[in-house]
Amino acid sequence: MTAVHATKLVDEYLRRLEMELIDLPAEKRLEILDEIRGHIAEERTGMSNESDADVMNLLDRLGDPTEIAAEAGAGGERRGRPSGTARFGTLEVLALVLMVLAWPAGVVLLWVSKAWTTREKLLGTLIPPGGYPGVFLVMSTFHWFVSMSESMSEAAASWVETAVRAVLFTVSLLLVVAPIGMCIYLATRLKAASRLEA
């Protein structure tokens, strides 16, 4: 007896479960996935002469991923996104593009669209606050701050200045990437959700 497809079956099962749990907070999702992955691994260690059928029976006993997700409340939280709305329409594409190019307009469209949950919309609005105009404002403050510190650099030790510059550089870099990153995040969430509804 050999279990040729066992690992593939298990991977497929866990992948489906992960998809079903996608609406849960990350911590909860990982906890449940880890426990079930551990359960499967332990049961398989206990099988002498494991066959594909053994693994299939094991997964059958665990039950359908949708049932596990329902118990986890993932179905309930999916109500945050009215069913049948998780798809990319013109509105959604426009919202994402404008979030990067013309911040206030993009956010308005983000909230008008029904494709994202309230939590995702909040994240999209707040990270980074103000989009690129906000980033620009923060950066000009930084610039002012740096020129201030330059004017007193005679007194300050040079390593302090270097450290301040390094921190400011890192923060600026994060700020510049943030709006695009958020755009990608929202796109991936929506894509995953639409795949789930399909």
Partner 1 sequence: MQGSLRYISAVPINGLATQLRKGVIEYCVLSLFKEGPLYGGEVIQVLRGKGQLLISEGTIYPLLSRLRSDGLVETEWRDTSTGAPRRYYRLTRSGKKAVAEFRDEWFRFRDSVDDILRNGGKPR
Interface with partner 1, residue 15, by CB under 8 A: no
Interface with partner 1, residue 61, by CB under 8 A: yes
Interface with partner 1, residue 191, by CB under 8 A: no
- Give the Cα separation of 31 and 182 in Å (integer): 25
Interface with partner 1, residue 45, by CB under 8 A: yes
Please pick, from the candidates 35, 87, 122, 169, the single residue that binds partner 1 as defined by CB under 8 A: 35
Let me know how long the chain is: 198
Interface with partner 1, residue 42, by CB under 8 A: yes
Of 31 and 197, nearer to partner 1 (C-beta) is: 31
Interface with partner 1, residue 73, by CB under 8 A: yes
Where in 136-175 is the site for partner 1 (CB under 8 A)?
Answer: none
# residues contacting partner 1 (CB under 8 A):
23
Q: Are 49 and 2 in contact (CB under 8 A)?
A: no
Please pick, from the candidates 64, 119, 161, 194, the single residue that binds partner 1 as defined by CB under 8 A: 64
Interface with partner 1, residue 38, by CB under 8 A: yes
Interface with partner 1, residue 12, by CB under 8 A: no
Residues that bind partner 1 in the complex, under the rule CB under 8 A: 17, 28, 31-32, 35-36, 38-39, 41-43, 45, 61-65, 67-69, 71-73
